[in-house]
Structure 1
Amino acid sequence: MPIAFVRVEYVKRSAGKNACCIAAYNSRSTIEFEGTKWQKPRTYNFSNREPPVYHEVLLPEGADPKFKSPEALWNHAEQQENRRNSQPSLNVVIALPDDEVVSTEDRIYLTRTFVQEHFVKHGLAAQIDIHPPDKRLEGVHETRDHNWHAHVVVTTRRFKGKTLSSHKARDLMPVIRKGYVVSGPQWNKLWGQYQNAFFEEKGLSLRVDPEGVVPQKHLGPVRMRGRAFSLMEENSLRISLNALEAENPQKVLDKITQTQNIFTQEDISRFLYKHVDPEKVHSVQETFWKQPQIVQLLDPSTQKPLGKFTTQEIVQEEKQIIRVADRLITQPAPKLLNPPDPSNLTPEQKQAYQNILQGKKLSLLEGHAGTGKSYLLTALKQAYEAEGHTVRGFGPDSTTSQVLQEKGFSEAENIYRFLFSLQNGKRTIHKNEVWILDEAGKLGSRPLLELLKKAYKHNAQVILSGNSAQMSSVERGVGFHYFSQKYGAHHLENIQRQNEQTQREIAQKLAHGKMGSALDEISKLGNLIWTPTKENAIETLVKAWAQNNLSNPNEKTLILAHSNKEIRTSHATSKT
């Protein structure tokens, strides 16, 4: 069964390690390490080991192609570091699904796209090596274990132009203490969600194994298990503890509601059948549903049960969020004496700009991608700062914070880090501050409540920006969507990212789910080509792609397909 396991650790020079050694080992190749001030040059040769089933170096756009060579890339990364205790790279291990219905090509696709989305897209380079399970003997027969996994070595600096930057990509780097990630992306949950989306797209019944009440440690390859008997004993103990904890109805309820405010009977059954002795499942289920804190949800109009449940704690938490939000929404925003009239905003954006400036202490800005929310937020920041207000920009994760920094919010930071620092007296709050949270739909209920409470306490204005249709938070929470319905939001409807009016109208229809009308418009422009069969479509597409590459060799042409099978077919056809 697929699992949501990602291990992230730094390659530490202070521990005698270097990126060239790790890269050579992962790729089972030979790399000449040129040496540094603290480590002598040497040759790392692991070519005698079983090679990976897949190896690739992914570079961000604009990077010098010579860094496709691991030797060139990791020597360059080492030479950029000038301290004895530098950390030239991240070493990431990802557990891949080993089910028979998942092909090697599927594992490659999953790994490449996940690494592209979370690392390379943000300017980092990454070396991918996918390893098959270790071989082992059962009697006279050689078999393999079930430990498909990927090793990914990632630079800790972005590429700036053709080479690595002189500054660390600290906004993307996790904070690791005593071997545990204490701040940064929740890699296990992100990887679990990514796999589930892939399985659903392929029409597979597979789903990532739900994590138990007592999380187990990943055992790793067979060759390590023989030298790690203590780890196996610890894991056996954790499995036993998990079974015992999963028999505790309160523990099960806490675990389920950690990531979702609403659950169903199917959610509970799936969890119990994984973690509890089958003979005990029925009795544990009976005890679970007798818990007084469980609340059954009813249809507001008919008052009939919906088959969905929540808890009194979640209900009280959401009521508290609403109470604090109600207080903020009744207070006026700080008045500006002479707000500027930004010339780069559209009439729609200007209207939202004026409404927020003249509005309340809690404002919501909603719009699909490409409607210009970032331009509007930047204009608001400049207006408030011009009259002496401190403006803070936040993101629900470090990636969003980085995007805000690129848009002019130089001090933007992860909201979790801000709340933690504020709680511990490491942030000084000034009078009438303005707090802007981008991608607000991705923030869970608990940090949202904490943000609103702090804003009310310090008399700060809160501007929440996002899109109710975007990916929800990893933690439980639907605050932004509910606020938009309850208080109303300043909506941006017009797509600005496309230059031509017709293209904008098509993008707007697609954003609002009017697929048929949008396809009709695309067809009228001659940009939608129909063929009798799917095979004809793929053949026509690949021919057009090849012809475009020949006539426009300096331009990039991208082939998109609906399913992974079609992607592989198109790829194979393009090679013939």
Structure 2
Amino acid sequence: MAIYRLSSQIISRSTGRTVTGAAAYRAGEKILDERMNQTWDFTKKKGIAHAEILAPDNSPEWAYDREKLWNEVEKSEQRKDSQLAREIQVALPIELTNEQKKNLVKEFAKDSFVNKGMVADICLHDISGENPHAHIMLTMREISPEGFGQKNRDWNKKEHLLEWREGWAKYANNHLALAGHEIVIDHRSYEKMGIPLEPQKKIGPLKHISEDDRANTDRMQEYLETCRRNGEKIKASPEIATDLFSRKQAIFTENDIFRLANTYSADKEQFDEVVSAIKNSPDLVLLGAGENGKERYTTRQTLEAENSMLSKSEQMAKAHSHKVKNKYQKQAKASRTLAPEQVKAFNHILSSGDMCCVVGYAGTGKSYMLDAVREAYEAGGYTVTGAALAGIAAQGLFESSGIPSQTIARRLLDQEQGRSELTKKHVLVIDEAGMVGTRQMNALISHAHEKGAKVILVGDGMQLQPIEAGGAFRGIYSRTEGVNLTEIRRQKEGWQKEATKYFEEGKSNAALNLYKAA
């Protein structure tokens, strides 16, 4: 199961370290330290899956050469206690493929660090193993075509670390959702999340030494004692475990139970007891075997959230409290060239109840049609606002349809802290709805239902397929009014339209073959 971990440290000369040696070790390379005239050779190091340097657009060519880059850093620092680099280490979700893990790290590093002026040296370790993680080494000086300038002290501020910690959770959760997983990670501490377990320190290299040597280390003893105390808490209150599952994913397997029990057990005997306690918990619900033959479980909390979400959606679909006069509808349609299918979708949304679903392939003109919907509702005295799982999707919804939007995480936080603007005069558009998990969707719909707002769920055809992350959208679509857009308008050639549908259906090879043939 995906776990959250982001740690930060400074690589400094005051601790006797060199940044060239640190870079060579993490990348598994051979690097000459010109200042010390010493060669660091870690070419035999195993477990390194990918190493890459990302730099701002105005960086000199040598910034992309690992040996030259970190030697320049060493040259730019004269003090014997100089801070040479910052290192961010993150745990990678095991649910993602190796390529997806790499893309996640690169996007996070580029948006969080490189776009702010840092050079990021990223290295992915144990990517296919039990502990996939990434090291991100960052420069601490501004860079220009002429080289390094002054140190940016602002990067050392605590609020930036807090932003990076929260940001990693958002990026990881977005990539998990894009990959079809409803699993989520949370950057908050157990205490802030209300979880009565003690945080367990990472044991790192200790797991690679012999069992006898490991048992004799104070650090390992402390780790095992914490595991034992947490295991006893779960045995006494197995709802702690089911609550953890509910927070992370809607559906899980016996292997997930084993992983959690292994994390919070000190030995085999306690492991068996923790597994037994979880399996006998009244909060655990057996769903039966999935397509792969493995038993699947959920929790009563998840089922209650799903039932609440579906019940409120059905109630909202029957309510018609957001009517717009025909003259405003005609006005919005007259100012655009809408295709017959788009007109049908427009009419359906404006005539439907306070809950409706819009389903269509990419390129069918959903955003263009939603722009007309927005204009009609605004003319009728309503405020249209939007939300999407990813920040880039929220931005895209605003740019393509004029609907001011924010991330779902931001909206949920505003709801929790009483800052939500929703009223009975609001229409909430949730884009990429098939990627929104049950708990999040329930929270959004429950709040809109309470405030009397209308909700429009927008997604593509594949998001109605039986993938876990699409469960909420699929369930609501099956019980409420929905409209489909199937005519692809973005592409004009027939083979291009066919390729787009192949991409939507996950048949990438078939789609690429059409492009190759053309």
TM-score range, shorter chain: 0.5 to 0.7
Query: Alignment partner for residue 341 of structure 2, among 329, 336, 348?
Result: 348
The structure carrying a bigger helix percent of its residues is 2
Q: Per the alignment, do residues 429 and 511 of structure 1 end up closer, same or farther by CA in structure 2, a change over 3 Å counting?
A: closer
Q: For residues 506-526 of structure 1, give each alpha carbon's deviation from its aligned partner in whole angstroms, at most 9, with x where no partner exists.
A: 43255347899x67x957x97
Q: Given residue 385 of structure 2, which amino acid in structure 1 is its aligned partner?
A: R
The residue that corresponds to 1:564 in the other structure is none
The corresponding residue for 1:296 is 286
Q: Confirm whether residue 527 of structure 1 aligns to residue 511 of structure 2.
A: no
- Aligned positions of 1:342-421 closer than 5 A: 342-407=335-400, 409=402, 411-421=404-414
> Partner amino acid for 1:292?
P
Q: How far off is 1:110 after superposition?
A: 6.8
Aligned to 1:58: 54
Residue of structure 2 in register with 1:563 after alignment: none
Structure-2 change in CA distance of 1:90 and 1:347 (3 Å): farther
Counterpart among 213, 216, 226 of residue 200 in structure 2: 216
Contact 1:262 / 1:310 at 8 angstroms: preserved in 2? yes
Q: Which moved more, 1:325-334 or 1:415-424?
A: 415-424
Aligned in 2, Cα 1:196/1:360: closer, same or farther, shift over 3 Å? closer
The size of the alignment, in residue pairs, is 427
CA gap 1:414/1:511 in 2 versus in 1, 3 angstroms: closer
Q: Does the aligned pair in 2 maintain the 1:364–1:489 contact within 8 Å?
A: yes
8 Å CA contact 1:443–1:473 kept in 2: the answer is no
Please point out which of 319, 327, 345 is paired with 2:315. Answer: 327
Q: Name the counterpart of 2:149.
A: none
Distance 1:242 1:409 in 2: 50
How do 1:162-311 and structure 2 match up within 5 A?
Answer: 181-182=165-166, 185-186=169-170, 215-218=199-202, 235-248=223-236, 249-273=238-262, 275-276=264-265, 277-297=267-287, 307-311=295-299
The aligned runs of 1:414-433 (5 Å cut-off) are 414-433=407-426
Change in 2 beyond 3 A, CA 1:25/1:383: farther
- State the one-letter code of the partner of 2:501: Q
Q: Equivalent residue of 2:386, what SS?
A: strand
Percent identity over the alignment? 23
Letter in 1 for 2:313: A
Q: CA offsets per residue over residues 482-520 of structure 1, 9 Å max, x none?
A: 11222242212223332312321343255347899x67x
Q: Secondary structure at the match of 1:338?
A: helix
Deviation at 1:328, TM superposition (A): 0.8
Match in the other structure for 1:444: 437
Distance of 1:283 and 1:408 partners within structure 2: 55
CA distance in 2, matches of 1:66, 1:403: 32
Given that 1:392 and 1:435 are in contact with CA atoms closer than 8 Å, whether structure 2 keeps it comes out as yes
Q: Is the 8 A contact 1:435 1:460 kept in 2?
A: yes
Distance 1:123 1:350 in 2: 44
Query: Aligned partners of 1:191, 1:446: CA distance in 2, in Å?
Result: 18
1:544 maps to none
Cα distance, 1:128–1:492 mapped onto 2, change above 3 Å: farther
The one-letter code matched in structure 1 to 2:53 is V
- C-alpha separation in 2, matches of 1:461 and 1:191: 28
Q: 1:154 to 1:378 in 2, by over 3 A?
A: farther
Do the aligned residues in 2 keep the contact of 1:441 with 1:468 (CA within 8 Å)? no
In 1: Cα distance, 2:163 partner to 2:441 partner: 29
Q: 2:35 and 2:384 mapped to 1: Cα distance?
A: 53
Letter paired with 2:6: R
1:95-148 deviation per Cα after TM superposition (whole angstroms, max 9, x unaligned): 5799xxxxxxx98x6765333444548995462243889xxxxxxxxxxxx997
Tell me the amino acid that sits aligned with residue 251 of structure 1. Answer: I
- Supply the AA of the counterpart residue of 1:363: C
Distance 1:73 1:355 in 2: 58
* Cα deviation, residue 357, structure 1: 1.4
State the alpha-carbon separation in 2 of the partners of residues 507 and 6 from structure 1. 37
Give the Å deviation of 1:471.
11
The two structures have a TM-score, normalised by structure 1, of 0.58
Counterpart pick for 1:489 among 482, 489, 492:
482
Q: Name the counterpart of 1:94.
A: 90
- Distance across 2 between alignment mates of 1:131 and 1:526: 33
Q: Give, in whole Å, the separation in 2 of the partners of 1:116 and 1:183.
A: 13
Q: Is residue 461–residue 504 contact of structure 2 (8 Å, CA) maintained in 1?
A: no
Amino acid at match of 1:356: I
Alignment match of 2:328 (pick from 322, 338, 341): 338
In structure 2, runs of 5+ residues without a counterpart are 13-17, 25-33, 44-49, 71-84, 143-157, 182-195, 207-216
Q: Secondary structure at the match of 1:413?
A: strand
Amino acid at match of 2:200: Q
Matched, 1:69 2:58: no
Instruction: Please give the alpha-carbon distance, in whole angstroms, between the structure 2 residues aligned to 1:473 and 1:183.
Output: 29
The 1-side partners of 2:432 and 2:159 are apart by: 22
- Any idea what SS the aligned residue of 1:495 has? coil
Please give the secondary structure, in 2, of the residue aligned with 1:181. Answer: helix
How far 1:480 sits from its partner (Å)? 0.7
TM-score norm. by structure 2 comes to 0.64
